[in-house]
């Protein structure tokens, strides 16, 4: 696909009234080459953005409307931040000249049967799935550049695949003994009111959820299997933390082919040496979610386990930025011929 020949990329955001939608707006407000021309939010249709997000009230943006009332004629790029299971039919109706970044899970899984198994219904746009590119930017950069439709990765899969894929490709870890223990902030559950997400239900505690059945498992396995050239199953368990944003994935791996912890560190440092957003922290440093809050950065730590032959990988990201909206903008930049870092160089908010 050709780059958009303009320094004013006209963007529509579908689902602008949710957390990932508001994060897109926050980040794009500082993007020097973007105009936000259309915002949808079905539950908030007819409202000004400031009525939904007072912290964004000063921005001069269009009123929220329903998706079915959208006029696509003045747009170059559409971000879809709609709930899973609703995006396939919407994107199938979009004009073919629009570039699309989908932040839902609707186009992430290449295999239609796998999608149906994990999401409970048949894929509603199978022909469109064939052209979708999985947008883990640092791994799929050439394909993203040429894509019209990019399936933005899930938050957990981003934090799992970035540390693991280079090590799998280097044949430094055993493929059948990967354990991913992940913790996420509350915003990963979305903004819709849910009883189990009330403050009194989640504060002062931590709990696992989706145990042995979380929908991000096949997405992680898809990427790792592609790197390995054969199927991989992982042990993946997510946990909900009483914090607003952030993901910490603690990953346990067994060494292979005589590799040492220092070799794994060297592989990751070499792979990500020139990457603007993925960094391997110094030896002995334990990366924390507070180190990446509000930024598009990923930090990776490598520790030799006290159990012989094992290594512990730590990976942190902001689930709303690199885990969702920031990576979506990173992909949009590539798709439109802009420098990948445009509008994304915010440093982490600390403390």
The residues annotated as belonging to the active site are 155
Judge if the upstream peptide bond of residue 351 is cis by omega within 30 degrees of 0: yes
Give, in order, the Cα–Cα distances in Å from 282 to each of 173, 269, 300. 21, 10, 9
| Contact present, 309 and 254 (Cβ < 8 Å) | yes
Residue 208's CB: how many other CB atoms inside 10 A?
14
| Contact present, 65 and 40 (Cβ < 8 Å) | yes
Q: How long is the chain?
A: 351
| Contact present, 334 and 145 (Cβ < 8 Å) | yes
């Amino acid at each position: 696909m050709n780059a958009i020949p303009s320094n004013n990329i006209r963007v529509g955001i579908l689902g602008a009234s949710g957390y990932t939608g508001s994060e897109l707006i926050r980040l794009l407000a500082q993007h020097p080459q973007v105009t936000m021309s259309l915002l949808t939010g079905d539950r908030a249709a007819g409202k000004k953005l400031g009525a939904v997000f007072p912290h964004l009230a000063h921005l001069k943006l269009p009123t929220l409307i329903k998706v079915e009332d959208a006029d696509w004629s003045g747009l170059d790029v559409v971000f879809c931040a709609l709930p899973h299971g609703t995006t396939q039919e919407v994107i199938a109706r979009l004009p073919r000249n629009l570039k699309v970044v989908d932040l839902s899970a609707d186009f992430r899984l290449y295999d239609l049967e796998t999608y149906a198994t994990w999401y409970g219904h048949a894929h509603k746009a199978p022909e469109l799935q064939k052209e979708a590119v999985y947008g883990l930017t640092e791994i799929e950069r050439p394909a993203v550049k040429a894509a019209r439709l990019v399936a933005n990765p899930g938050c957990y899969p981003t934090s799992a695949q970035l540390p693991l894929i280079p090590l799998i490709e280097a044949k430094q870890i055993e493929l059948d003994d990967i354990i991913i223990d992940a913790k996420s902030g509350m915003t990963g559950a979305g903004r819709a009111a849910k009883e189990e997400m009330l403050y009194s239900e989640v504060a002062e505690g931590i709990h696992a959820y989706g145990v042995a059945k979380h929908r991000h498992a096949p997405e992680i396995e898809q990427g790792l299997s592609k790197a390995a050239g054969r199927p991989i199953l992982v042990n993946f368990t997510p946990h909900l933390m009483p914090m607003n944003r952030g993901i910490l994935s603690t990953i346990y791996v067994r060494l292979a082919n005589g590799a040492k912890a220092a070799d794994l560190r060297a592989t990751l440092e070499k792979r990500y040496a020139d990457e603007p957003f993925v960094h391997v922290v110094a030896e002995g440093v334990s990366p924390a979610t507070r180190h990446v809050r509000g930024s598009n950065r990923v930090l990776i730590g490598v520790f030799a386990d006290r159990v012989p032959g094992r290594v512990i990988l730590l990976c942190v990201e902001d689930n709303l930025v690199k885990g969702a909206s920031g990576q979506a903008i990173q992909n949009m930049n590539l798709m439109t011929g802009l420098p990948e870092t445009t509008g994304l160089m915010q440093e982490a908010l600390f403390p």
